[in-house]
Amino acid sequence: MRTGTDGADTRVLLTKAASGGVGVVLTAALTMGGFTAFSLDDHPALAAARPDNPPVGLAQQIVPVKPLSTVHTADVLVRVPTGVTAAQAAAVSALKGVDAVEPVDYARATISGHEATLLGVNPSTFRMYTPKQTAESDPLWSNVGAGDMAVSFDIGQETRLPLGKPVDVRSSFPARLRVGAFATMLPGVDAVVSDNTARAMGIPHGNALLISADKADPAKLAKGLKKALPKNATVQFLRSRQPVTTTRPGQTTPTPTPTPSSPTDANGFLSGDRIATAIKAAYTKLGRPYVWGAEGPNTFDCSGLVQWAFAKAGVSMPRVTDQQFLTGKHLTYSQARPGDLLFWRNDPTAPNYVSHVAIYLGKGKMIVAPHTGDVVKIEDVYLKNFAGAVRIQVRG
């Protein structure tokens, strides 16, 4: 998914921390206080909203937000549809290498008509797991605590959500929530609200855990999580190597990898035939519209096109751009060859986050779903904000 401004000097206004105690309704909280002008160049994570045009439809208690006390890495997101019990959370916390565990509420939702992943969080503690600039923004988290929704830079820009104004959000129950900030939080997470707001929307409570374990061995941690959690748990590693598996094109059962007959070389890199098939598949979608969050077959965003094209070659890829960046060997642009993936960091709210991807065709050309208002096309490679190239390796 690509951001839309390429770091332009966009002027924004910040709400001061809303005052008010328990029992103050949302609309009252958001009409208090003044505001101060900031630039994205001054502090890019602080793209928070003004106090006018408050949201409507959710009267609730304000969640007081504590100052940032420490920071944690966000390494693993675990989802348990039936809910995480206290005993399960304790078992996860006790695993070797786990530094901290944060309960969150996980749901799929629609934001202004667009499919999205939404988390309900405790603003005081969840902020510790977010990118540094975002974690340090007291106004941003005060907005969330007062009932605002913070959305990722990707969805905010690509779907043109109005900063500082209410939009329709639907999960179990519909709501009107003000877009209080543009700020990327975690890979694959599109929006964050307070846990109070999440409960008012009917989002299941405590059905996910965010885990900080930056020094843990991923394979050993995965085994420990499997023992500590129920069978229906989904474990998503956010920062470590992402699994890539292959099938016979058109089938769904992974082939043993690597084997002498597998579609890879001795190092697990995809064969020329698989790469050619993926590129050919992408070519068939030239001219199809870019739609944020779309995975095909008729509309695509940038990472959706990559996932769809390689799936046609029997290669299973992760969905999110930031995780596609972790699917193989990192290379410079000069080392790239056809079929490698090219990546960019365009998100001013999270400078280390990889937010855009294309498939390299060779000779300075790439095939890409660029951004909202454009179509799948062949473009010249550009190197502004370039993060690097990746040669996909098959490894579970």
Structure tokens at 307: 């996932």
Ordered DSSP codes for 319-364 = SSHHHHTTSEEEE-GGG--TT-EEEE---TTSTT---EEEEEEETT
Position 246 scores a pLDDT of: 76
Task: Report how far residue 126's alpha carbon sits from residue 386's, in angstroms, rounded to the nearest whole number.
Answer: 30
Confidence of residue 60 (pLDDT cuts 50, 70, 90): low
Confidence of residue 61 (pLDDT cuts 50, 70, 90): low
**pTM of structure:** 0.78
Position 242 scores a pLDDT of: 72
Confidence of residue 352 (pLDDT cuts 50, 70, 90): confident
Q: Residue 295 carries which DSSP code?
A: B
Helices (H), the chain: 26-29, 86-93, 123-126, 132-135, 138-145, 153-158, 195-200, 218-228, 272-283, 302-312, 321-324
- 131-172 pLDDT, tens digit each: 988 999 999 999 999 999 999 999 998 999 999 999 999 998
Asked if residue 184 lies in contact with residue 154, where contact means CB atoms within 8 angstroms, the answer is yes
pLDDT at 54 over 90: no
pLDDT at 341 over 90: yes
Kindly give, in sequence order, each residue whose CB lies less than 8 Å from that of residue 338, ignoring residues fewer than 6 positions away. 275, 279, 360, 361, 362
Quote the crossing angle between the two packed helices 302-312 and 272-283, to the nearest 10°.
Answer: 130
Q: How many residues does the chain have?
A: 396
SS3 category, 311: helix
In degrees rounded to 5, what are phi and psi of residue 277? -65, -40
- 112-135 pLDDT, tens digit each: 999 999 999 999 999 999 998 899
Asked if residue 147 lies in contact with residue 157, where contact means CB atoms within 8 angstroms, the answer is no
Asked if residue 4 lies in contact with residue 348, where contact means CB atoms within 8 angstroms, the answer is no
- 15-49 pLDDT, tens digit each: 323 332 222 222 222 222 222 222 233 333 334 44
pLDDT at 177 over 70: yes
Give burial (CB, 10 Å; 0-12/13-18/19+) of 83: middle
Position 349 scores a pLDDT of: 84
Mean pLDDT of the chain: 81
Position 333 scores a pLDDT of: 97
- 99-109 pLDDT, tens digit each: 999 999 999 99
Position 48 scores a pLDDT of: 46
pLDDT at 257 over 70: no
Asked if residue 272 lies in contact with residue 263, where contact means CB atoms within 8 angstroms, the answer is no
pLDDT at 95 over 90: yes
Position 40 scores a pLDDT of: 31
Tell me which of 58 and 358 has the higher pLDDT.
358
Position 249 scores a pLDDT of: 53
Task: Report how far residue 187's alpha carbon sits from residue 132's, in angstroms, rounded to the nearest whole number.
Answer: 15
Confidence of residue 386 (pLDDT cuts 50, 70, 90): very high
Task: Report how far residue 28's alpha carbon sits from residue 316's, in angstroms, rounded to the nearest whole number.
Answer: 49
Position 239 scores a pLDDT of: 82
Task: Report how far residue 254's alpha carbon sits from residue 168's, in angstroms, rounded to the nearest whole number.
Answer: 40
Q: Catalogue all structural domains in the chain, each as residue range(s) with its CATH number.
A: 11-237 (no CATH), 245-392 (3.90.1720.10)
